[in-house]
Amino acid sequence: MNSIEKNHKWARLRDWLAKRRKIILIVTGSILFLAVGAGTYIYLSNNTKPTAKSTPETQLPKIVEPPKYYSPLTGSLVEKESDTQQPVTGVMIENHPDARPQSGLKDAGVVFEAICEGGITRFLALYQSEKPQLVGPVRSVRMYYLDWATGFNASISHVGGNDDVLNRLASGNYRNLDQFSYGDAAYWRSSDRYAPHNMYTSFANLDELNKQNGYTSSDYMPFPRTDGKAAEALTATSINVTISSSLFDSAYTYNATSNSYDRFQAGELHTDADGRQISPTTVIGMFINESTISVPVNGSEEQLETIGSGRAVIFQNGTATEATWSKTSESSQITFTDANGLSIPLVRGQTWITAIPNGPGDVIWS
């Protein structure tokens, strides 16, 4: 092909392209647009995560946990807020052998145990949200029980007392629910035991007395509380507390299933009158100075030093912790602190505190 023919051929091609330029540009642009769009789609599909709004999980309704309420006295979970606002009520419960088994001790949130007279122990049982309908036998109060009760801003149910404590109660500065004042309105004697070991009350009656007197709540400093769990290394599964004699000495065996201490008294399991085993989650041996003084009517009277401080041993979770008890005044709360002066949290549930006389008394464990 000579040069003239080649030039003629290129001229015809240029004419053909010129006539179809618009179409070629449109087709080429469309191809490029589709290619870019497809590439962008693939890139976004592989690299873009769905937004939070598009995930099914975030569209589910939020589950609102109901509020939890804990008893100030025991730290235990209670049903409703009003259970945390009840007044604390203390009941003096007898521990003479003829008064056993007692009623309502199993339900007490905090129990103070101390010698009352002649080596016989007596209990100050404190209640708040738990309200047994049979409590007793109810007996007289002593000054040191009143000191402990006052730390809880508690009403105190009792049948009289010795002269010094009655004079103190007569001041009107205490929540006094004395059987001498209210008689049959709140107390009765059972027919299956003989006096004085047969005086009883109920919380239907005590609640009414509290209401009549305007005792609608109690303002006090609760014990610090914590959840309980059996320790990996158990160091205190058997406890023996010496108070006065074999009739009133107590013992405890650690129950790993309930993380509590099954209580024994006079060598036998200590049960409530309805057969329930008394098993506090925390047992405290509190060493305290004790003396006996002469008085005109009864001849002698026990005296315990409740204001001050001393040694204590706290048993919980199958372990023993050396501690110091302190009470700075009649109205202040008793506290239990470690070697660094820090409060020791007590496991939620019943706390049983025994005042052990310095000297003759002791507590040993293994």
> pLDDT tens, 306-345?
999 999 999 999 999 999 999 999 999 999 999 999 999 9
Measured CA angle at 161 (ends 120, 334), to 5 deg: 75
Same-domain status, 39 and 91: no
- Asked whether residue 37 falls in the same domain as residue 169, the answer is no
Task: Give the pLDDT band (50/70/90) at residue 189.
Answer: very high
Identify the pLDDT of residue 296.
55
* Cα→Cα distances 101→261, 274, 292, 311, 348, Å: 18, 9, 28, 31, 25
pTM of the model: 0.81
Q: Kindly state the percentage of the chain with pLDDT values over 90.
A: 70
Domain count, the chain: 2
pLDDT band at 49 (very low <50, low <70, confident <90, very high): low
20 and 143, same domain (yes or no): no
Q: Which of 359, 360, 355 is nearest to 113 (CA)?
A: 355
Residue 280 has pLDDT above 80, yes or no: yes
For the beta carbon of residue 113, count every other beta carbon within 10 angstroms: 23
Burial class (CB in 10 A: 0-12, 13-18, 19+), 275: exposed
In a domain, 279, yes or no: yes
Residues 165 and 255 in one domain: yes
More confident residue, 46 or 65: 65
Q: How confident is the model at residue 177 (pLDDT cuts 50, 70, 90)?
A: very high
In a domain, 75, yes or no: no
Kindly tell me if the per-residue pLDDT of 43 is higher than 60. Answer: no
CA distances from 163 to 27, 69, 84, 195, 301 (A): 116, 41, 35, 21, 11
pLDDT at residue 169 above 80?
A: yes
Instruction: State whether 154 and 282 are in the same domain.
Output: yes
Are 172 and 27 within one domain?
no
Domain CATH number, residue 289: 3.50.90.10
Measured distance CA(91)–CA(207) in Å, rounded:
12
pLDDT level of residue 19 (50, 70, 90 thresholds): low
- Are 187 and 324 part of one and the same domain? yes
User: Could you tell me if 254 and 128 lie in one domain?
Assistant: yes
Both tokens assigned to 138: 């109810």
Whether 76 is covered by a domain: the verdict is: no
pLDDT band at 186 (very low <50, low <70, confident <90, very high): very high
* Contact in structure between 154 and 89 (CB atoms under 8 Å): yes
45 pLDDT band, cuts 50/70/90, is: low
Tell me: do 123 and 198 sit in the same domain.
yes
Average pLDDT score over the chain? 87
Does the pLDDT of residue 257 top 90, yes or no? yes
Cα 289 from Cα 229, distance rounded (Å) = 33
Task: Answer whether residue 361 is part of any domain.
Answer: yes
Q: What is the pLDDT of residue 290?
A: 87
Does residue 41 sit in the same domain as residue 87? no
- Residue 125's domain comprises 81-365
257 and 323 assigned to the same domain: yes
pLDDT, tens only, 107-145: 999 999 999 988 999 999 999 999 999 999 999 999 999
Whether 90 is covered by a domain: the verdict is yes
Identify whether 69 is part of a domain.
no
Task: Find out whether 102 and 95 touch, Cβ atoms under 8 Å.
Answer: yes
Q: Which residue has the tokens 């002269």?
A: 163
Average pLDDT over residues 86-93: 97
> Which DSSP string do the residues of 106-157 spell out, in sequence order?
GG-SEEEEEEEETTEEEEEEEESS---S-BB-B--B-HHHHHHHHTTT-EEE
What was the pLDDT predicted at 308?
95
Q: CB–CB of 124/144 below 8 Å? A: no
| Any domain includes 66 | no
Give the pLDDT confidence score for residue 61 in this predicted structure. 75
Residue 72 lies in a domain: no
- Are 85 and 43 found together in one domain? no
In the prediction, which pLDDT does 22 show? 60
Rg of the Cα atoms in the chain: 39
